Chains A and B, each alone.
Chain A
Amino acid sequence: MNNWELLMQGFSVAFTFSNAMAAFIGSLLGIVVGAMPGIGAAAGISMLLPMTFKMSPTAGIIMLAGIYYGNMYGGAYSATLLNIPGDTPAVVTALDGYQLTLKGKAGKSLATGNYASFIGGSIGIVFLTIFGPLLAEIGLKFGPAEVAALIFLALTSIGWLLGDDPVKGLVTACLGILLSTIGIDGASGNARYNFGSLNLIGGITFVPLVIGMFGFSQVLEMISDSKDFKVDGVKKLSIRESMLSWAEFKEIFWPSVRSGVLGNFIGFLPGAGATTGSFLAYILEKRIGKKRHTLGTGEITGVAVSEAANNAAAVGSFAPLLSLGIPGSSTSAVLLGGLMMWGLRPGPLLFESNPDFVWGLISSMYFGNILCLVAGMAVLPFLVSFLKISKRVMIPIIMVICLVGSYAVGNSIFDMGVMVTAGVVAFYLKKQAFPSSPVLLAFVLAPRLEVSMRQALSISQGSLWVFFEKPISAVILICTFALLLFPVIQKLIAFSKARKN
């Protein structure tokens, strides 16, 4: 069957009652969670992950994917109305979005965000339909050495790109790898690093770790920042006043398409994610856009490029996740953890072994993206009162969800302790500018890295040459070393320049 037929088959899966409902609920929840300032997609998905246990894997992942791209829509709302991005990708949206609010055009900004998100999301989904299977075909040619090299590159770029200091990113990535070694060693069957505890023999459970790192640490963050959110200058929004004129729509259309394409390719790269996508799209618009001189002063184009790019990147991150099993962002790492929990192993074989699942998910995205646009426009009149919900009220609610969710996965009080510990550690690491996302990405990827590396070395009788004799792994490793050495070279160049001066 070709892609078109598979996609049509996927629609028949996506349009079953349970899957369509999952997409609807996911999109709506995503918008709500995204609009809540400071929570973010990874936290939202991790807290809602236990609610999908009873669902089929397809319905579960459709709902989680809906939360993810719904979140990208919702992130723009608090960025525009409060100048507080709902998630980091919406940081760029706040630049023009909040200025528009101050000018009394909050509705226009929010509607622009919705349209641009839809355009970016649609571009992402079309590209995923085309490139996802292609990437999987390439992935089928990978042996253990290539897989190990690819994961090594992914871990390096994740450490590099997330956070301000590459060394700190790499430190947290290594921490994630060490955490993943706790428990039974898959190859020998021996228990490792369990400190004599029976609870740790199976390793650290994924869900409590994620809930702690992204959900509970958020509670601590909210407590440490005593400022509450305030909606200034906007009393009421109506759909009619928010609608864009034809001229305004024309103004945002091409920049949105351009940013959508750019954002989608950024989403393919491990670690780059939606935030990098929206920043780069904004920079591109500043260079070549018609409104480049007034960008940042309250232009709807500024909102459009950021939103189109972050939505396209969010969908784009599904391509390496489904085709190669490599998550592009912390949110897709949570999704990967969810998939593995349901017994599915994302990678090149997933397209062949579970076509109903993969194409059902991709097809649901077409439907979910339309749902998000409709829901995004429908919530506009209620947004102001929704955003008035105080942080003081949100804290105990998040706390309860974190507690119950972390228990639900393994019916274990120990897991609740893991959640609290992970939250505290992630909070203090974040305070010292250590990004927490690499911990999670490495934790998810490391078991595959270990298996592939050990397989490759066993095949080659212990010779490291196995990683360099095949062209694909050799090229990937050269890229990895270049990435690792880049900061050193950069410093050397700066040092020699300084000496010359």
Chain B
Amino acid sequence: MELAINLIIFLLSGYWCQQGLMVYTFWNKNQPGSGFIPVIFSVILMIFSCVLLIKEIKRIRMNHRQTSQTASTFSLSRIRPLLPVVYTIAAIVVFRFAGVVVSMFLTSFIWLLFISKVRLSKSLIISVIVTLLVYLIFVVWLRIPFPRSIFGF
């Protein structure tokens, strides 16, 4: 995982550096251009991520030597945090079409009932309170123009 993160950071900083030099101008007429700061810090980032990459490769090699059998196991705990991510994306889609009241009620209610396994009555009460608070603070008080559902809220 760390290897992948460092590699992504290295590639990203490389892109930043290339764009800063080729597109946004690093230095022009004795003055720094738009690419000045991005290039400097992307170069620093490339160096640091390279150091971390080498360290990580060394560590993996050491581990490989110590344990002759290094089976790469796919752990479920790694992708478990992605559950709320998928759930939140679904909530955003519902929010777009069903409005803030319906979507936020469903977001909290479905999670409480089916994922957290909270009793139906308790899930219902908590979801109603949360939705009511969101409505009072953000819609009534702050007057945020949220998307509305067919019911008008």
Contacts and interface: CB of A to CB of B under 8 A. Distances in A.
A424 to B, nearest CB: 6
Contacts of B12: 178
B52 interface: yes
Given A51-B142, A171-B45, A188-B34, A399 B19 contact: no
A20 B74 CA distance: 54
B80 to A, nearest CB: 6
A66 interface: no
A174 B141 contact: no
Contact of A192 (B38, B49, B112, B116): B38
Contact of B32 (A167, A399, A428, A454): A454
Contacts of B130: 396-397, 400
Contacts of B36: 450, 453-454
Most buried by B among A181, A216, A417, A428: A181
A51 B137 CA distance: 7
B98 interface: no
Interface string A383-403: 000000010110111011111
A188 B52 CA distance: 35
B84 A223 contact: yes
B100 A432 contact: no
A451 B88 CA distance: 37
Contacts of A223: 80-81, 83-84
Contacts of B107: 396, 399-400, 403
A431 B118 CA distance: 29
Where chain A touches its partner, the secondary structure class is helix
Nearest to B42: A178
Interface in B13-70: 13, 16, 19, 24, 27, 30-38, 41-42, 44-45, 48-49, 51-52
B145 A453 contact: no
A446 B38 CA distance: 10
A185 interface: yes
B27 to A, nearest CB: 7
Interface stretch (A103-111, A196-204, A233-241, A406-414): A406-414
Interface stretch (A131-139, A456-464, A473-481): A456-464
A390 B1 CA distance: 31
A67 interface: no
Nearest to B88: A420
Contacts of A395: 84, 111, 116
Contact of A431 (B1, B38, B108, B145): B1
A224 B34 contact: no
A170 interface: yes
Nearest to B131: A400
A181 B38 contact: yes
A148 to B, nearest CB: 10
B33 to A, nearest CB: 7
A167 B85 contact: no
B126 A393 contact: yes
B48 A457 contact: no
A248 B12 CA distance: 57
Given A396-B107, A399-B84, A54 B146 contact: no
Contacts of B41: 174, 177-178
Interface size class on chain B is 35 or more
Contact of B48 (A171, A399, A401, A461): A171
B91 interface: yes
A175 interface: yes
A185 B19 CA distance: 14
A50 interface: yes
A27 B63 CA distance: 50
Interface string A49-69: 011011000000000000000
Interface string A420-434: 100110011101101
Interface string A215-246: 01001110110000000000000000000000
A170 B145 CA distance: 40
A416 interface: yes
A428 B38 contact: no
Contact of B142 (A185, A408, A428): A408
A432 B2 contact: yes
B37 A449 contact: yes
Given A171-B48, A188-B34, A220-B85, A408 B42 contact: no
Given A177-B41, A188-B34, A429-B5, A167 B116 contact: no
Contacts of B83: 223
A16 to B, nearest CB: 19
A29 to B, nearest CB: 12
A408 B91 contact: no
Given A51-B137, A192-B38, A400-B108, 15 more contacts: A174-B44, A190-B24, A192-B24, A220-B81, A390-B116, A400-B107, A400-B130, A403-B88, A403-B92, A411-B146, A416-B95, A420-B88, A424-B81, A432-B1, A450-B36
16 contacts: A167-B52, A171-B52, A174-B41, A174-B45, A178-B12, A178-B13, A220-B81, A220-B85, A224-B81, A396-B116, A403-B91, A403-B95, A404-B138, A408-B144, A411-B144, A424-B81
Q: Closest 10 interchain pairs by CB?
A: A392-B116, A396-B111, A220-B81, A462-B30, A174-B45, A396-B108, A185-B34, A450-B37, A177-B41, A432-B2
